[in-house]
Structure 1
């Protein structure tokens, strides 16, 4: 059944909500919110409310200390992503991550590397890996394509049923940000949510554009309960005025 999945997005060491597609190589981004609390505050809140499976995403450099603080607060309760490679994967598991979220490292010169996916799976185990298939549209082409390197590079890997089935042999979950609507609070990509519900053979979390607690019902209906939903900039704990965190917690308890 669809669940609310929380997040801790880290940018320059602070908990922030940014407009996803605006994150640049120099670290600049259009920012919706900067928290006064540190990452461990949110980890403690999620632990208190039993919200397992939250993703901690390091958006660029200088976020490692903040991420480790969150993991120390709730060991084996959070997933961590952003700059994960085969060289540091085991270090992040030792730091307390329940699962590792991997994106850009799976690509070489913009092309998906099955060899890398297999090697990482062999190293840490399929049940500890989440593949981030955050995606964008391409001009003149139908469907969605995985975007890497802070969502600035759109690859040739299409998000479709064949891709999800192929990659599911190397990971136990997918995380999919709809990068074109991320941080805008203008509504979810309903077509993408419906497709993920039909296509994904493993648990999948969607993020991007959610703006009302009713979006949980909408995602549940569109995906037949197969896709979870993350709220970001719309959420009151991240400075939003559209969705109350306590309503999301209550929704989970009721379902």
Structure 2
């Protein structure tokens, strides 16, 4: 069954929901923000802890988010993954701060977006594959999808295929995949991408991007045979949305528990 994985997206130290395709380091005015929280990151983390939700993620979208991220991890120790600026030099520090896993993308590629397998091996040596989540968040291209790094701004050489998943699976515990072109739009999921990912069962996987209603979670469940979990962002009432109620997701999780 598709499970709900909670999220805390941080931008300039605040919990936000943004349109993923609008991120641009060269033009701050291009950023489209759907929601800015009045509550700090640790408020959300503590809520997830009290409701028994684990396996979610804290994503640091750029600089200025470390303090908020540490506060969130401290409020839900062992219950959340951490991503954003993670590499072999700081991964252990974030695990010690309370993260259950570290999430990596950009550090696995060089400046030109070429995948560097030796960097992945260094991370595995540093923290172990069982504490590592590989983020394969992607943008749609002609004929498929390519992993996007640098907060989804830079297209890399790595394509989303079952062969790619096979080659990376032994080096991680899970995959996290945002459909960056759908992220924050609340206009429905990328069904083709979910179907492709759902055809591969090698590791736990979480999908994010475009979920607008509870029916989209049911669609992910059907397309993936229940093998893919999901994160809900801008459509969630917890983040100012109207399409999905947080209480309904918690109830869904409680019903799914043995």
Provide TM-score, normalisation by structure 1: 0.97
Partners of 1:245 and 1:7 in 2: CA distance? 12
1:13 aligns with 2:18: no
Partners of 1:72 and 1:106 in 2: CA distance? 27
Counterpart among 81, 84, 87 of residue 85 in structure 1: 87
Give the C-alpha shift of residue 24 in structure 1.
1.4
Partners of 2:235 and 2:35 in 1: CA distance? 10
Counterpart among 118, 125, 130 of residue 127 in structure 1: 130
Note if contact 1:160-1:199 (Cα within 8 Å) is conserved in structure 2.
no
Counterpart among 46, 50, 56 of residue 44 in structure 1: 46
* 1:130-149 Cα deviation digits (max 9, x unpaired): 000000012xx201100001
Q: Which residue of 1 aligns with 2:175?
A: 174
Give the C-alpha shift of residue 123 in structure 1.
1.0
Partners of 1:10 and 1:70 in 2: CA distance? 10
Segments of 5+ residues of structure 1 without an aligned counterpart are: none
Partners of 1:79 and 1:26 in 2: CA distance? 28
* 1:40-87 Cα deviation digits (max 9, x unpaired): 000011001111011000000000000000001111111000000111
Partners of 1:102 and 1:59 in 2: CA distance? 13
How many residues are paired up?
253
Note if contact 1:27-1:60 (Cα within 8 Å) is conserved in structure 2.
no
Q: Which residue of 2 aligns with 1:185?
A: 186
1:3-152 aligned within 5 A: 3-26=3-26, 28=28, 29-109=31-111, 110-138=113-141, 141-152=142-153
Q: Which residue of 1 aligns with 2:154?
A: 153
SS in 2 for 1:146: strand
Segments of 5+ residues of structure 2 without an aligned counterpart are: none
SS in 1 for 2:144: coil
Give the C-alpha shift of residue 199 in structure 1.
2.0
* 1:94-153 Cα deviation digits (max 9, x unpaired): 111100000100111311111111110111000100000000012xx2011000011111
Partners of 1:20 and 1:218 in 2: CA distance? 22
Partners of 2:27 and 2:131 in 1: CA distance? 29
SS in 2 for 1:111: coil
Partners of 1:224 and 1:253 in 2: CA distance? 20
Give the C-alpha shift of residue 27 in structure 1.
7.7
4+ runs deviating over 6 angstroms: none
